Structure 1
């Protein structure tokens, strides 16, 4: 009988969904009215009246078993983050039924909004229950997930994005410059890139990345088009994703690094419902459909439709100083932000080459990192490499040294956050 009631409620809900386009990740939620709220002394007359840096709207049903199972988790989060987080349960059920439900649960302290006429529910149009919306301080949707995926680590990472200076504690000037480039950011947060930054933060601190990975997996594919429009946005997002997953995978199972070819080519990353390999992200998206082992001279003959949709318009050689493959010779991991990506990549390039490039005045030779040899066409050949070394002050302007390439150190090194 209970199963029948559940099915009938679900069918009734679907039939009542309006023709309005539902809100999606990245949308700014318009003001709406809250007429009746149970189980609280607070007044929530409108969305604007809800306090907190983060607001969670959990579309809830007394007939929904997963919804009920998530209540203790949501209650604990609300208690821990009082003043910073507000969680509201949204229900389309009759007020008396909800009052009876509350009366049977003494430990339930979360407010329940009685959505009479389903005015709020029709704005978001949950396709199924459970369905949870996470809003930032500007009341933009930064995640659409399930209540069970909301963990303390996840909430901590969301709050950390509001104070990026707390994400890292750099000890060297160049890393401080990278972080300052993020702190100076005044533009509205791009929710997709913010999610990638949260993921990097969790990977760095060794906290649970499961909920963030779930959010990345369940992003609407259209959101990649809507929020990753410019090359700056694409580079910031995909560099963060590449570095974050490399670290997570190898931290969990370092043995996978023994077969590097398999590790980098395996389709093991799900973003917006699509499978990607690390190679696909690096050579397909960030290098604009280049063949991996061709020194950058050859393009793929038949790149996939998805790759062509997502890839950058112009290849930027500086990405090679930002991507971390897990090896000791790899560049360090940093947080990349679209509005400051050029400044950050310049800093990363200077930092890496100042540490890895060696000029011998006696022999007039220049030793460069091997990765510049692997992708020499990306750098414009040896002439452009030398010009870059001169621009950075590594080689005197009047010298024409012979260029050699160093041996790459493939020893696994996971703590490469330049701290």
Structure 2
């Protein structure tokens, strides 16, 4: 399966096109749309519980906030920094990468970006030419294919389902490879499924990519959120021969509960990072100095804060999976990473629930919001209809109440 950018209608004069075909083809972020709708309904007085946004419910740790407060008072932070980021932050990110994943990189290989989304787009923009294909395992985070298309590339989707723990095989990747394939997108732990590839699986995927001379963009934003016996394995560490054609994107959002601070980064070969930095110099210049100072405090510090959050996430993970699997017709594999559950609801589609027969997971999600006042994201947003994504990065009481409402509603299916 592949997608291509739309071709402008040649019969329409350029001056009469109000929105470009390139930008007009972009879909709104489904996760942010669901979150915004849930918040609007809650503000209007409805007791909506939102499982939409992937956002820790914890505050940013105090020591990070205090560093930002101090940074606000220092006039040097009222000015531009180099477009690629504060030199000391880039050095700290390089040191943190060695500490956490075992990959030794130089600060010149780091670009500090306005969150992970900018990192992903700029990385793709730096290496893709029009028509280059990117293999995208699905379920995928909704932003990936949009970023690829904006950069001129063609996303080629390879689907995995609950029978394989939402993990694609090397055989599936090889079947999708063509002479136009340039990049593999690889994400572990995964959003939206929470899937975590084993060391052996990571090595097999990396060796396959290296054998065929492919680039790999790997998103490590959930590196610290793994549970049980699962292990995070960084691809360029597992397969060193791939390092010169590997780009890692990451950020402080999930690890340090800093989603609103908007600090991410790209790590890769110097020529690619330089090209992405040039792009950013014209797009947004530097990331906010205050946010960069806060990120410096985060990455240079220890992991005590994330360790505390992991305890809560692990407890919620087990609770939500158990409760979802109690619903007839729902199948929810246990996620091993991130903070999402991704249950299959295919067996419920077409059944009558309170006078409605949802034919798609999007219709089912709408029904759940209307009738149970619970916001979830349908699988259509992630390239796999028939599923729902629920973030369990919310309070324990809200989680239990929200899933209980879903249980009660869906148990009426006939």
Compute the TM-score of the two structures, normalised by the length of structure 1.
Answer: 0.26
- Please tell me whether Structure 1 or Structure 2 has the larger radius of gyration of its CA atoms: 1
TM norm structure 2 = 0.26
Greater relative CO (CA pairs within 8 A, separation 6+): 2
